[in-house]
Structure formats: C-alpha cells, structure tokens
C-alpha cells in the first residue's frame, strides 16, 4: 500500500497509462454488452467491473505481490 498519501492508504499503482486506457475501454465495452446482451451477462459484468477498477485505480490485483 502507498502510505505516503494524504487521503489514507491506497493500493500501489502497478499498471502503466496505456494499460489503463485499454482497460477502461474494454471494461466499458464489457459492461455495456452485459447490460444489453443476452449471454454470459454476469461474467461480462464482473470482468468489466474488474477492468474499470484496474483503469481507475491503476492497480491490478493479479500482478500485485
């Protein structure tokens, strides 16, 4: 965790800007597709939410050690 933040503990940023942009676009697409689609809605919504979290925070839980 980043303890130098004035707003409390934040997850460390471990995703570069290009990955954040790609994650935001892909996450938004998956969430919209989950809302309007008919197949695998919960899977798409979960994956889309994770990608948007990754894009907004810059932290990927999968690559965090």
**pTM, rounded to two decimals:** 0.79
Exposure class string for 46-60: b at 16+ Cβ within 10 A, else e:
ebbebbbbbbebbbb
Q: What is the pLDDT of residues 8-65, one digit of tens each?
A: 787 889 999 999 999 999 999 999 999 999 999 999 999 999 999 999 999 988 875 5
β-bridge partners, 2: 10
- Among 44, 42, 41, 61, which residue's Cα sits nearest to residue 53? 61
């Amino acid at each position: 965790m980043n303890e130098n933040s004035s707003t409390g503990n934040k997850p460390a940023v471990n995703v570069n800007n290009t990955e954040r942009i790609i994650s935001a676009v892909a996450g938004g697409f998956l969430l919209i597709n989950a809302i309007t689609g008919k197949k695998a809605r919960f899977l798409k919504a979960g994956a889309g939410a994770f990608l948007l979290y990754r894009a907004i925070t810059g932290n990927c839980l999968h690559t965090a050690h």
